[in-house]
């Protein structure tokens, strides 16, 4: 039984992994965010955006949540903002999002 108000689907995005096969791409994404404060040119961004659109299509935006930690939180935040600009509002939960000081 699912408690009232819980999402039917959660897309969870991992943070940076310092081992192969993803270390190079993760470091590139970290540097991309540091330099441009954006992850939109990353392959991981477009893949996440398309996956979330499919999940929203299947379950509806009110039944979907995107969550992420660290680098994954950066992707979750930017993907959530991109969908919001398209009129699709998805609940977003972030843990230790990246920031530029």
pLDDT over 60 (residue 3): yes
Give the pLDDT confidence score for residue 101 in this predicted structure: 46
Confidence band for 98, pLDDT divided at 50, 70 and 90:
confident
For the segment 74-89, what is each residue's pLDDT rounded down to a tens digit? 999 999 999 999 999 9
For the segment 18-49, what is each residue's pLDDT rounded down to a tens digit? 888 889 999 999 999 989 989 999 999 999 99
Give the pLDDT confidence score for residue 100 in this predicted structure: 55
pTM attached to this predicted model = 0.89
Contact 71, 62 (CB under 8 A): no
């Amino acid at each position: 039984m699912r408690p009232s108000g819980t999402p039917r689907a959660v897309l969870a995005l991992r943070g940076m992994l310092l081992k192969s096969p993803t270390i190079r791409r993760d470091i590139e994404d970290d540097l991309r965010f540091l330099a441009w404060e954006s992850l939109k040119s990353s392959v991981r961004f477009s893949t996440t955006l398309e996956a979330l659109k499919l999940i929203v299509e299947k379950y509806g935006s009110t039944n979907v949540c995107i969550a992420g930690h660290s680098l994954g939180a950066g992707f979750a935040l930017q993907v959530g903002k991109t969908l919001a600009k398209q009129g699709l509002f998805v609940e977003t939960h972030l843990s230790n999002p990246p920031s530029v000081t």
